[in-house]
Structure formats: C-alpha cells, structure tokens
A and B are shown apart, each in its own frame.
Chain A
Amino acid sequence: MPKTKINIKNISYFYGEKQALNNVTLDVPEKEITVFFGPAGGGKTTILRLINRLNDLVEGTKLEGKIYVDGRDIYSPETNVPDLRRQVGMVFALPLPLPGTVRENVLYGPMLAHINGRAQEDEILYRSLSQAALWDEVKDRLDDPASELSGGQQQRLCIARSLALEPDVLLLDEPTSGLDPISTAKVEESLFALKEEYTIIIVPHSIQQAGRVADRAAFFLMGELIEYKPGKELFTNPQQEKTEDYITGRFG
C-alpha cells in the first residue's frame, strides 16, 4: 500500500443530538482515488466536509476523534484553517460558479491567497483549466460570465477552481450528479489524469461510477464504516453481507 495521506481515527460526529458518524477509522493512501459510497444519510458528505473543516461553518455540532493530513492533526489549535482548505480542495454536488467570469472563478482562490501578476495568472488559468479538461472549450470565453457555460462545463470549472490552488487532496462530493453521461465521462477522465498528482476522495453518484473509478472503496451505512478495501476486491468479493446486499441492489 502506498504512503498514507490522511488518517481518520475514531471519528464520531454529531449534529445536535443526531449522530452522523460512529467511530470511523480509515487511512486514505496518497495519489489514488478513494471512493466513499453507500446509501443517503450514511455520513459520506459529512466526513468529506470534516477533512477540510468546512463543517466548522455549521453550528451546534460535536466532533470526537482525530483527523491527520500528512501526519498533522488538522483540528489542533495551531492549524491555519484557510491554508488547510487550500491544501484540501473541495468540489460540490451542484456546480456553483461564483458571480463573475470564467477567469474570475478560476483566479478567486489565488486572489484570496494574494497570488497575482499577469504571467502567473495566465499560467494558473491554463494549467488548471487543462487539468479539468476544459481549456479547449473555454479558452476563447475566459471573460464570459461563468453562468453561461453548460452544466457539465460549470462543474469542470468548479474542479479547475479548486485545482488553481494546487491542492494535494481533492474532495469531490457527487460531482457528476447533475450531469449527462457525456459530461460525466469527461469529468471521470479528468479524475484519472489527476490522480497522478493528487490524492482524490470521491463520493460517487452511483455504484457503477464507484466501480469505474475506485482504487480503494469504503462502504458507509448509517454513519458506520462497514467495509474498506481495494476497489476490485470490494466490488467483486465483498466480505460483509451488508456490502454485498447494497452492491447487488437488494437495498439502497
């Protein structure tokens, strides 16, 4: 197994009284695609949002356990949260371009990090849009409003927007749930290219997609981690009955 990028240790998480995660422990390897899948309400999105501390924005929650990125406890008081979020990028289920042009969207993160200068900006635009497999489609439309792109293009723009910060980790929460099959294929294609350089965690929008992209797969059910192993093994030879039932479509 390659080097571990993220250790999740004994995580339990509560929204008020409601428990969303129960004692989850798993290690995410570097530069692979790890899939978190399972039925709705299983805690997949919650765990993604814990890894870049986005759930800090939600009031009335409680976290037990530890999460380490590169061996550093990200919930320790020394953590610089904006820096963590630059290191651990996130793409959401619904493509949500910020108000403004394609260019402004891609450069929003770098602007906040005070990276500017024409040459550097052009380099970031080209690199991140190419990585998201969008450059050819928008290279003549960089100054058009981002809202005028198609849904699939908007989602790849959101990926490019995260990549502009050169993160190590990319978290994708059902990034293709609103997309047609062709756009979905394009997004998946760019994911395969990206795993050369990035550690990717994705919550897929279907089991088929989970099977297609997973190097490793974790099955979540009702806030518990049921099974976690290399994707090929898990999808062909699940050890847990619940996993098998879900994969074969007996519930979910």
Chain B
Amino acid sequence: MKKRYLTQKVGFSLLVIAALVVVLPILLVIGIIVARGIGAIDWTYLTTMPLEGMKEGGIFPAILGTLLLTLGTAVAAIPVGVGGAIYLSEYARDTVLTRAIRLAIINLAGIPSVVYGLFGLGLFVLFLNFGTSILAGSLTLAIMTMPIIISSAEEALRAVPTEFRTVSASLGGSRWQGIRHIVLPQALPGIITGVILGLLRAAGETAPILFTVAAFYLPRLPRSIFDQTMALPYHLYVISTQVPGMPVQMQYGTALVLLIFVLSLNIFASVIRSYYRRKREW
C-alpha cells in the first residue's frame, strides 16, 4: 500500500516536471526578451526611421512593413483558403482528385519556409516580374499560409452537424443557402482561429520574405505594393548578425515588438474562440 502511494507520488512529480519543461523555455524566452528589450521601446523607437546604419533611431518602417505584409497575406490567402475549404467540405465528392488535393495540402504544410521563399522568387519576383515587392512577398506568404487556413477551415466546417444541412435542404434551401445561412456562421469561430494562426506564422517568418520583399536598410516608407519594405523578422536577423557594434538593447527591442504583435494576435484568436464557444447552441 505504501509502495503504491510512493509510486503515484513519483509518477505525478514526473508529469509536473514534464509540464514545466514545456512551459519553462517559453517563459524564459519571453522573460529575457522583455527584460532586455523593454528599455529600448519608447515612442521614438516605435515611430521613427532608423538612423546611423540602424544603430540609432526607430524601427517604424519594419513595423509598418510587417503590418502591410500580414494584411496583404490576409487579403490573398483568406478568400482562396476559405473558398477552397468550403469546396472540399461541402461540394467535393470523395474522388481520386480530391484525395490528391488533400494530400497536397497536407504536404504543403510541411514544406520548409525557405523553399516557399525560393518559389516566390522564381514565380512572383522573376517570372511575373513583380520585382522584390510587397506584392511578391505577400503572395509568397499567402501560399505558405493557405494550407493552414484550408485545413483548419475545413475541419471547422465539418464539425457542423450534417443534420443542419439536411434541415435546410428540407425547407427548400439550396446547398449554397444552407452553407451561407447555417454552416458558415456556425463554423466562423473555427475559421477565424485558423486564419489568425496562419497569419501569425506569416508575420513571424523570415525566409519567405528574404528574397521576395525584404529590404536590408530602407529608411523610408514603401510607396506602393511594388515597393520593397523592411519587416520585423528580417530586420531582427539583420541587426543581430549583419551589423557590427549594434546595441544589444535595440536587438531585443525589435524582438519584443515582434513578440507583442504575434502574441496579441494569438490572444485575439483565443478570445474569439472562447466567446463563440459559449454562444454555441449545439
């Protein structure tokens, strides 16, 4: 009896340790970045151009660039991704073609991001002649994001009970009317969550924008979608490795801004999800 109690104690302790091992590095990363970067952040840092070869001044062009790229990714990826998910979940029959499409989506999600970068360079920058531009970068990020959006949106759509579609059809609804009035509203929270998670990944990536949009040092704002821009992840890479004598605080400051951007999107996604889950009626 006593021995069994002891075994249980040990078992629980191991589980607690395992949980801590997962959480601890995340807390450490956040803690260190906040501690070292918070001093760099002030109004000037957030709203002005970099000066003196980025060693002074702010990171405003990088912040704006990341916002623009995320927005561009959203504009390109959401309609196509959600549309594709609706097709796969609601219209497509189970054929060799749709199975191939699903397989492709799963595999696309596993491709290293630098490959997307090279693909974007080849297709958008060179072949379609967009140049290194916000347009090329957004489209590259959109292609990388789409598999995430499609698979999570499809899952959300499939989670809506079939019976709702049947009821809608029995009341004279076309398939599209059932989707528009019943299925989509019910799946929306799941879709939004998937979209945000996809955009999060896009916002934090360096490799796909490396060859397609990112400027090493461009102390002015982009003039159009065919212009280059700085972006937070790439800027961070540059000031951490390419600029000798860079003040450490400014490096961590950039990391902190990126972290806050990504975390707030993440929290936004969680809030939406829990809000709608409480409202759900089935």
Query: Footprint of B on A, CB under 8 Å?
Result: 52, 54, 57, 59, 82-83, 85-86, 89-90, 92, 94, 96, 98-99, 108-109, 111-113, 145, 147, 161-162, 165
Contacts and interface: CB of A to CB of B under 8 A. Distances in A.
A82 B173 contact: yes
B171 A108 contact: yes
Contacts of A89: 170-171
B170 A147 contact: no
Interface of B: 93-94, 161, 163-174, 177, 181-182, 185-186, 280-282
Given A99-B282, A145-B281, A147-B281, A57 B171 contact: no
Given A57-B166, A96-B164, A112-B181, A165 B172 contact: yes
B169 to A, nearest CB: 6
Nearest to A104: B181
A100 to B, nearest CB: 8
Contacts of A83: 172
Given A82-B172, A108-B168, A112-B174, 17 more contacts: A52-B170, A57-B165, A57-B169, A82-B173, A82-B174, A83-B172, A85-B172, A92-B166, A92-B167, A96-B161, A96-B164, A99-B185, A99-B186, A99-B282, A109-B171, A112-B177, A113-B172
Contacts, number: 66
B166 A54 contact: yes
Contacts of B165: 57
A60 to B, nearest CB: 9
Contacts of B168: 98, 108, 112
B281 A99 contact: yes
29 contacts: A54-B169, A54-B170, A59-B94, A82-B172, A83-B172, A85-B169, A86-B171, A89-B171, A90-B170, A92-B163, A92-B167, A94-B163, A96-B164, A96-B167, A98-B164, A98-B167, A98-B182, A99-B185, A99-B186, A99-B280, A108-B168, A108-B181, A109-B172, A112-B173, A112-B177, A112-B181, A145-B281, A147-B282, A162-B170
A159 to B, nearest CB: 12
- Which are the 3 A-B pairs with shortest beta-carbon distances? A109-B171, A86-B172, A90-B170
